[in-house]
Amino acid sequence: MSTVRVELGDRAYSISIAPGLLGRADSYAACANPRGSALIVSNTTVAPLYADALEAALRPHFARVLRCVLPDGEAYKDWATLNQVFEALLRAQCDRRTTLFALGGGVIGDMTGFAAACYMRGVPFVQVPTTLLAQVDSSVGGKTAINHALGKNMIGAFHQPRLVVADVETLRSLPAREISAGLAEVIKHGAIADAGFFAWLETHIDALRALEPQALAEAVQRCCAIKAEVVARDETESGPRALLNFGHTFGHAIEAGMGYGAWLHGEAVGAGMVVAADVSVRLGLLDATHAQRLRELVRRAGLPVTLPSLPLRSYAEWMRVDKKNEGGEVRYVLLDGLGRALLRGAPDAVVDASLRAHGAPD
């Protein structure tokens, strides 16, 4: 087992990474509360696979273990579904000694964390991510949120988990499309922070898609280490943490414009990274050969490298609804060389040219 620490003072926590962790009682000893309740929040896809094992692992640590099973999909990351979690908590008369357990992917993790941040003004929660995307990215760092029809992840809170348990064995239950979606976030970490890791991915991308355990554990550990270091320096995304959103300005526009769930988050980020790299080249920040390496790695990961056929004006409208923007200016995460990133504005003409070059019609 490998362990990564997120150093946040008295809110520091560990990320445990290994196969077989989910069903082990000792995985959760650090968050035990023998007089408290545990609420497992999952969805209709993941709960039948893993909820029984998680419940059995939690029973030694809590007075009772409850479940709340939500519908599956990005389309349900909304107020109505969030209220199902609150209803489960209230009906069971859960108090502040309750710990929520997010069992699933990024949607479940974000919603469970937001519910924990809100319920009784804040109760603990634990991330038990079962998708690659969640294990390498969304389960770490305490960003929690739901979507709104006018913008993705615009309603939420920073609320750090007490623990992250990343059982890489759960990735074997994922369809190939979900693995590819997770690889977008893996590639992102190399592109913005570690050129050596990016080169490692070029060598190991086929092994990752084949779910080779050693490669998966290495990728998860390296991504978590990168993100943990950034979060420790900038917990609330007021500075360098925004760089973790490489590809996301374009990606969120794709998700919103297509309707949440039409493209997986990672698919949208994959295409978004390709466009962001192209903008970087057009601004003289990135060598064209490095942009081509990124595009090829995204393609080899099984991700789209061209945009959906949304009108150019739609991208402009959706990109103006982004948490990184300031004073009405759209700010993009761009590559200042491979393995380095920066946050800045870009001329509309440059962005439009890149969007057109990647499939956005006028």
Q: How far is CA 211 from CA 162, 173, 255, in A?
A: 28, 10, 27
Judge residue 202's burial from the number of C-beta atoms within 10 Å of its C-beta, 0-12 exposed, 13-18 middle, 19 or more buried.
middle
Label each residue of the chain as H, E or C: CEEEEECCHHHCEEEEEECCCCCCHHHHHHHCEEEEEEEEEEECCCHHHHHHHHHHHHHHHEEEEEEEEECCCHHHCCHHHHHHHHHHHHHCCCCCCCEEEEEECHHHHHHHHHHHHHHHHCCCEEEEECCHHHHHHHCCCCEEEEEECCEEEEEEEECCCCEEEEEHHHHHHCCHHHHHHHHHHHHHHHHHHCHHHHHHHHHHHHHHHCCCHHHHHHHHHHHHHHHHHHHHHCCCCCCHHHHHHCCHHHHHHHHHHHCCCCCCHHHHHHHHHHHHHHHHHHCCCCCHHHHHHHHHHHHHCCCCCCCCCCCHHHHHHHHCCCCCCECCECCEEEECCCCCEEEECCCHHHHHHHHHHCCCCC
- Which residues are identified as catalytic? 121, 143, 185, 227, 237, 241, 245, 248, 252, 265
